Amino acid sequence: MSTRAVIRQGTWTLQPDREPDAEPTAYAMECAVCGESSDVSEGFADGHSWVVKHCATNPSHHTFRERITRPWRTWQHV
């Protein structure tokens, strides 16, 4: 048995979800050397503080990734 999806013809818009009930944007920093990461936070400063602490205890770790989770929404113009 197969599943079918029917999508109505029209123009769709995609944008970050800034509605009052949208999930918050979340940030975390990840060490590209060892894979350890900061806690997820709604503010990016927490992750940046974690990087400084991580560098202090791991002097050879200099490369990091910022992980951002941002809610998005779509709607169709009729």
Please, what's the b/e burial string for 31-46 (b: 16 or more CB within 10 A of its CB; e: otherwise)?
Answer: beeeeebbeebeebee
pLDDT (tens digit, 9 = 90+) per residue, 9-33? 788 899 999 999 999 999 999 999 9
Helix, coil or strand: residue 53: helix
Task: Round the average pLDDT of the chain to a whole number and report it.
Answer: 92
**Could you count the other beta carbons within 10 Å of the beta carbon of residue 50?**
20
Q: Where are the domains of the chain?
A: 21-77
Q: Is the pTM of this model over 0.85?
A: no
Residue pair 53/31 in contact by the 8 Å Cβ criterion: no
Spatial distance between the Cα atoms of 23 and 33, rounded to a whole number of angstroms: 30
